[in-house]
Amino acid sequence: MSDIIRLLPDSIANQIAAGEVIQRPASAVKELMENSIDAEATKIQLIVKDAGRSLLQVVDNGKGMTETDARMCFERHATSKLRDASDLFNIRTKGFRGEALASIASIAHVELRTKVQEAEIGTFIFIEGNIVQKQEPCQCNTGTAILVRNLFYNVPARRNFLKSDLVEFRHILEEYHRVAIAHPEIGFTLHHNGHEVSRLDAGSLRLRIISIFGQGHNERLVPVEEDTSIVKVTGFIGKPEYSKKTRGEQYFFINKRFIRSPYLHHALQAAFEDLITRDHFVSYFIFLEVDPAKIDVNIHPTKTEVKFEDEHHIYSIIRSAVKRSLGKFNVSPTLDFEQENSIKIDPYPQDRPVVPPVIKVNPDFNPFSTKVTGQQLAGKKEIETWFDKEVLTGIEKSQTVALPAEKEVPAYECIQIHGSFILSAAPSGLLLIHMKRAHERILYERILYERILKEMGMERARSQQLLFPQHLELSPEDHVSVKELLPSLRKSGFDLDEFGKNTFIIQGTPPGLSDGEAILALQSIIDTYKFTGTGSATGINENIAVSLASNMAIKEGKLLQQPEMQQLMRDLFLCEYPALSPTGKPTLVTMSVEELLKRFGS
């Protein structure tokens, strides 16, 4: 039998490595910018064309490279960061494996210009498919300029995998922001298709966050600082009142390296457990400084996953540090027992007679009354059967329950509880309805979703014009998201246009959405889109419908009259999926008579 095992050629090995390290243009941006940081640059310029498909260029004023180093940097596993195995346990730089440039050069056309300060001339190298086509002296500034053209030109399957330019550029922005936040002491600029998208001057971390996400973040940030023998924690957290239903600006950095860690994220969310609901998320920009010997950053090719030696201790320290900051800056609710005037109650006026409270009781009230009008009696038998078979036995997500439009739900007397729930009798027990979620289902299914899908073929849907147009200021990343969503937003009834850098002007909104809710609705749509990543026209319109329904639904605490509660119940049970809100949460809870009897020990 002949031998069958042989070494892979370098060209194939480099393409395999490229598949692990360079997944899209944003991956190349990350690697190139981190190389500039390791070169001690104080200014980094990123130039992008066609979302990185045609061109990516990173220019820095770092230390530069000699002629020999310029050639060696494209060799696989060539690195200036490691000398022996012990250096693996003291990694403080970004790149260290020597795979990035070799991987990029194997799947693109790469030009490199670099010069060290003491040299009079620099070095130019042109590589195509990992083969050096040209190397010669050149005139250039101190530092390095690396240009990448035609990414994935020889890997058509990977190139076809790329999304639209807007989606790919949004990923580039994400990587750009991660690197920029980690290094506020460095100045950054970003140009796309000849336009300046971002200019970030060197400064403090707070200034960097505000420069990226907008001036409004200044009042939202609470500083965090804790120094222990295990880990040093610094950075900022967002105030609870600015939490969102989708994950927004959430950044963890280990030794200035961006990481993803569900475990540490849980620690931070746990610190807010009494301040926000479980379905809300706060912003955070947390930096951890840990002894490199006690972490492993080499478990994933992109180095965004890290293993900790003292994981449980770090969890506790982060949770405690955040809680202490919330208390220190009076963010968490507290009772001050030392101040007698902390609760001020004005004295009762002496000239006003004291009137004892009166409790009004309707002796004829019966919560189990089944009085209905003649019109409501139509179809009563069928609906009571549906109540028994479907509602009281629990409705599964997969079930479709459609009621004829001419039939009505029996008008049982209703009671509103805590401004959030509606309690009603049912033919075989009790029914408790979540008021806001029920209204969201009604708006989504019977009004918004149906209207949006029907109007998808129109150039622009009906829109109610605002008396005073509103300005929507966005981060560069959110600005790109709105540009992606713009056709669907306009079809759904939003009348908005670009108005300066990273700003849109809102002229009109879908009918039913108040002026004050326009920006909130749009921000909710943006957050949902960023979190789900849904790019199809139908998916975008569904996200818009969910967001609009949530913003237009009746608010918690609103008091309803008896006819309003009964109408809400009737409208809910005429929906196709009455038991679930548009986001999949239950709208109702039922309890049969048998369950009630068990509760009372009968």
Which residues lie closer than 8 Å to 139 by C-beta, 6 or more apart?
A: 121, 122
Residue 424 vs residues 125, 338, 417, 435: alpha-carbon distances, Å = 78, 46, 11, 12
Q: Report if pTM > 0.95.
A: no
Domain spans of the chain, in order of start:
10-200, 206-328, 366-602
**38 near 93, Cβ under 8 Å?**
yes
Q: At 328, which helix (H) or strand (E)?
A: helix 311-328
pLDDT at 447 over 50: yes
- Domain 10-200 carries which CATH code? 3.30.565.10
- How distant is the alpha carbon of residue 566 from its chain centre? 37
Pairing of strands 187-192, 43-49: parallel
What torsion do the CA atoms of 89, 92, 98, 103 make, to the nearest 10 degrees?
120
280 vs 360: which has the higher pLDDT: 280
Q: How far apart are CA 289 and CA 424, in angstroms?
A: 56
Q: What is the mean pLDDT of residues 122-132?
A: 92
595 vs 93: which has the higher pLDDT: 595
Q: What is the mean pLDDT of residues 562-590?
A: 87
* Helix axes 435-442 and 537-552, enclosed angle (nearest 10): 140
- What is the predicted pLDDT for the residue at 426? 79
CA-wise closest residue to 576 among 453, 399, 421, 416: 399
Which residues lie closer than 8 Å to 366 by C-beta, 6 or more apart?
A: 413
- What is the predicted pLDDT for the residue at 43? 97
Query: At CB < 8 A and 24+ separation, what contacts does 114-118 make?
Result: 114/64, 114/65, 114/70, 114/140, 114/143, 114/144, 114/145, 115/64, 115/140, 115/141, 115/142, 115/143, 116/63, 116/64, 116/65, 116/66, 116/142, 117/63, 117/64, 117/142
- What is the predicted pLDDT for the residue at 399? 35
- What is the predicted pLDDT for the residue at 292? 85
Fold of 206-328: Ribosomal Protein S5; domain 2 (3.30.230)
Look at residue 548 and give its three-state secondary structure: helix
Residue-wise pLDDT for 195-245, tens only, equals 999 999 999 999 999 999 888 889 999 999 999 999 999 999 999 888 887
Pairing of strands 122-128, 131-138: antiparallel
What torsion do the CA atoms of 156, 158, 163, 164 make, to the nearest 10 degrees?
-30
What's the whole-number average pLDDT of the chain? 79
Percent of all residues in the chain with a pLDDT value above 70, rounded to a whole number: 73
What torsion do the CA atoms of 60, 66, 72, 74 make, to the nearest 10 degrees?
20
In CATH terms, are 206-328 and 366-602 the same topology? no
402: its two tokens: 């459609």
Q: What is the mean pLDDT of residues 505-520?
A: 79
- What is the predicted pLDDT for the residue at 362? 57
pLDDT tier at 530, thresholds 50, 70, 90: confident
- What is the predicted pLDDT for the residue at 577? 84
- What is the predicted pLDDT for the residue at 276? 84
Residue-wise pLDDT for 67-81, tens only, equals 999 998 888 766 655
Half-sphere exposure of 463 (CA within 13 A, CB side): 21
- What is the predicted pLDDT for the residue at 100? 83
pLDDT at 374 over 50: no
* Helix axes 518-532 and 537-552, enclosed angle (nearest 10): 140
226: its two tokens: 């804790």
**Domain 366-602 architecture:** 2-Layer Sandwich (3.30)
- What is the predicted pLDDT for the residue at 203? 95
pLDDT at 434 over 70: yes
Q: What is the mean pLDDT of residues 244-264?
A: 87
Instruction: Say which residue the tokens 């998208």 belong to.
Output: 197
Length of the chain (residues) = 602
Residue 454 vs residues 54, 457, 492: alpha-carbon distances, Å = 38, 7, 10
Q: How far apart are CA 69 and CA 115, in angstroms?
A: 10
Q: At 479, which helix (H) or strand (E)?
A: helix 476-491
pLDDT at 270 over 70: yes
438: its two tokens: 């029920």
pLDDT tier at 547, thresholds 50, 70, 90: confident
Q: What is the b/e burial string over 106-118, where b = at least 16 CB atoms within 10 angstroms of the residue's CB?
A: bbbbbbbbbbbee
Residue-wise pLDDT for 10-51, tens only, equals 666 665 555 567 889 999 999 999 999 999 999 999 999 999
Which of 235-239, 416-420, 500-504 tops mean pLDDT?
A: 235-239
Q: In what order do the strands lie in the sheet with 257-259?
A: 221-227, 232-238, 284-289, 250-254, 257-259
